[in-house]
Amino acid sequence: MQKDYLESTTKQFQYYKMLGDRTFTQLSEEQLLWEPGESSNSIAIIVNHMVGNMMSRFTDFLTSDGEKEWRNRDQEFELLIKSKVDLAAKWEMGWSCLFQALGSINETNFNTDVFIRNQKHSISAAINRQLAHYGYHVGQIVYLGKLIKGKAWQSLSIPIGKSQDYNKSKFSKPPASGHFTDEFLQNSSDSD
């Protein structure tokens, strides 16, 4: 159960990372820094916030509060990322911290309580909290990418108008096991 849960959530995080990666490749540096409105965030600002959250939550995940004293959350919403190279480096740093923390969880420490802002969480509750948070922000990133690219946007999953073909292909094969993200993650690594 614990192993299945950790494998499933790890794949889901990988899927969210891949959606961000594939959005970034479609956009120019200027587009990554574009803010759609005065009170709206650019993709770069959303990434900066996500990475600040990841570093805070997953550094010393099992042994210290997930809201670190050194975190400056308000500053995460300032335009600190100035280039596509900086954005990619920060993005990778945050995900690396997260995946390293997930990799440190095992049968002997799975029942450890972890804290976020002095509130006790089970490991699964803390992971679910972050899974929902990052899914929310990756959705914003993808939406902004689609808004910016318009008709030039390249679908990250099943293209509009291709659902019936996709389902026909799926149901033409014997029932299979695996995680629903497997084919998307495989296609992503094939294109790298």
Kindly report which listed range (17-21, 28-32, 45-49, 173-177) carries the lowest average pLDDT score. Answer: 173-177
- Which residues touch 124 (CB under 8 Å, ≥6 apart)? 5
Report if residue 106 sits inside a domain.
yes
Rg of the chain in Å (alpha carbons): 18
Number of domains forming the structure of the chain: 1
At position 142, the amino acid (one-letter code) is V
Write the pLDDT tens digit of every residue in 92-137: 999 999 999 999 999 999 999 999 999 999 999 999 999 999 999 9
- What does residue 30 show for φ and ψ, rounded to 5 degrees? -60, -40
119: helix, strand or coil: strand
CATH code where residue 136 lies: 1.20.120.450
What rounded mean pLDDT belongs to the chain? 93
Closest CA to 90 of 129, 55, 41: 55
Note whether residue 51 is domain-resident.
yes
In a domain, 8, yes or no: yes
The model's pTM: 0.91
The residue range of the domain holding 45 is 2-156
**What six digits make up the tokens of 62?**
């099992």
Q: Band of the pLDDT at 187, cuts 50, 70, 90? A: low
